[in-house]
């Protein structure tokens, strides 16, 4: 057994090349260490930090969105993306490939449902934060905390601003197209209020189908306090 405690400049890898057994060397299986305490602790701490930041972002999203399915998706994306980037970065992953993965996940669309703009924004933020935390191995904790805290703070302030502005909209397929002309705008507003139960503060006329006598109307109204509008963008039922 070769003793190395007295020589701080001793390199265990050189001794192993000459057939010496070095005390304290990590046990390997198929050339891969079975356990490295420092690496494991570093991964655990950074993964926990990334999940805490992601939980804060999801909490900010869920406080207004109330979509549990998207909240679950964000957390899964966060953990998977962080581990993918962090572990592959240890293998000297090229930055170009990393950015390519980021672009692919950032542009993703689900075939079953068009993801709303707000949800896509949070998905982009979650992926971005996970990439930053996974690649910033040489960045100080103070810088990392400042970067993550800035994103969380901006998301929180943006949501607070949106909450203070209660004006929202709803897409309506309207069949009385004789009311969409400017001269009958008040009649259109009165009819929408009577049929929807909310007071419209403005309308926009979209596509008009004269063959079916329908028009797409975007109705603006003030959202009552305590209520949310999360499906106002849906214009038709899904076809089975």
Mean pLDDT of 124-133: 86
Indicate if the pLDDT at residue 111 is higher than 70.
no
Indicate if the pLDDT at residue 191 is higher than 70.
yes
Tell whether 27 and 58 lie within a shared domain. no
What total of structural domains would you count in the chain? 3
Q: Count Cβ neighbours within 10 Å for each residue of 97-132 and write b for 16 or more, e otherwise.
A: ebeebbeebeeeeeeeeeebebbbebbebbbebbbb
Give every CB contact of residue 145 below 8 A, 6+ residues apart in sequence.
none
Indicate if the pLDDT at residue 102 is higher than 70.
no
Cα–Cα distance for residue pair 111/55, rounded to 1 Å? 26
Alpha carbon 90 to chain centroid distance?
A: 24
Tell whether 144 and 54 lie within a shared domain. yes
Question: Helix (H, G, I), strand (E, B), or coil: what is residue 160?
Answer: helix
Which domain covers residue 55, as residue numbers?
Answer: 37-164
Alpha carbon 118 to chain centroid distance?
A: 9
Tell whether 110 and 100 lie within a shared domain. yes
Question: Helix (H, G, I), strand (E, B), or coil: what is residue 222?
Answer: strand
240 belongs to a structural domain: no
Tell whether 61 and 146 lie within a shared domain. yes
pLDDT band at 16 (very low <50, low <70, confident <90, very high): low
pTM: 0.58
Cα–Cα distance for residue pair 181/184, rounded to 1 Å? 6
230 belongs to a structural domain: no
pLDDT digits (tens, 9 = 90+) for 60-96: 888 876 677 788 888 888 888 888 777 765 555 555 6
């Amino acid at each position: 057994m070769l003793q190395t405690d007295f020589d701080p400049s001793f390199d265990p890898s050189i001794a192993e090349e000459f057939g010496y057994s070095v005390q304290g060397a990590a046990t390997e299986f198929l050339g891969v260490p079975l356990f490295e305490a420092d690496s494991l602790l570093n991964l655990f701490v950074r993964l926990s930090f990334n999940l805490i930041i992601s939980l804060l972002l999801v909490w900010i999203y869920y406080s207004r969105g109330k979509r549990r399915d998207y909240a679950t998706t964000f957390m899964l994306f966060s953990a998977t993306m962080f581990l993918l980037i962090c572990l592959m970065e240890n293998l000297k992953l090229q930055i170009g490939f990393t950015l390519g993965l980021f672009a692919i996940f950032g542009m993703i669309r689900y075939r079953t449902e068009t993801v709303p703009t707000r949800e896509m924004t949070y998905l982009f933020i979650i992926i971005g934060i996970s990439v930053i935390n996974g690649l910033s191995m040489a960045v100080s904790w103070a810088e990392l905390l400042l970067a993550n805290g800035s994103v969380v703070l901006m998301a929180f302030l943006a949501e607070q601003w949106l909450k203070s502005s209660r004006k929202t909209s709803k897409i309506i397929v309207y069949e009385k197209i004789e009311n969409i002309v400017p001269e009958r705008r008040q009649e259109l507003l009165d009819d929408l209020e009577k049929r929807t139960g909310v007071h419209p503060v403005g309308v926009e006329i979209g596509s008009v189908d004269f063959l079916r006598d329908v028009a797409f109307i975007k109705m603006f109204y003030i959202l009552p306090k305590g209520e949310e509008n999360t499906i106002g963008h849906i214009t038709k039922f899904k076809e089975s």
